[in-house]
Amino acid sequence: MREAGVPAGRIYSIADIAQDPHYRARKAIVTVESASGVTVEMPAVFPLLSGNPGAVHDRAPTLGEDTDIVLSEFGIDDGRRAALRAAGIIG
């Protein structure tokens, strides 16, 4: 690759990234708390831009965690959601 003038470098696995101190120094890995209270590490927003650096604000929701909020925003009331749950349509 060098003889041909082709830029090349090591290809990192996720394990390599998680263990590399340079990624940590660049804040490319953040720690969040899961819904069950377990602390986990995950990739951060990257690249960090000076004018709009971005950030991880919340953990990912668990399956169905936001169902009631979303359906209520579409006008589906408690009774209808209960019927949908009873029918096994939503969790």
- Cβ neighbors of 43 (< 8 A, separation 6 or more) are 17, 28, 29, 30
- Measured CA to CA, the distance from residue 85 to residue 59 in angstroms comes to 25
- Closest by CA position to 12, among listed 30, 32, 28: 28
Distance of CA 4 to the CA centre of its chain: 39
pLDDT at 46: 79
pLDDT at 28: 87
Per-residue pLDDT of the chain (91 residues; tens, 9 = 90+): 889 999 988 899 989 988 999 988 888 899 999 889 999 998 888 788 888 888 888 888 999 999 999 999 999 999 999 999 999 999 8
DSSP 80: H
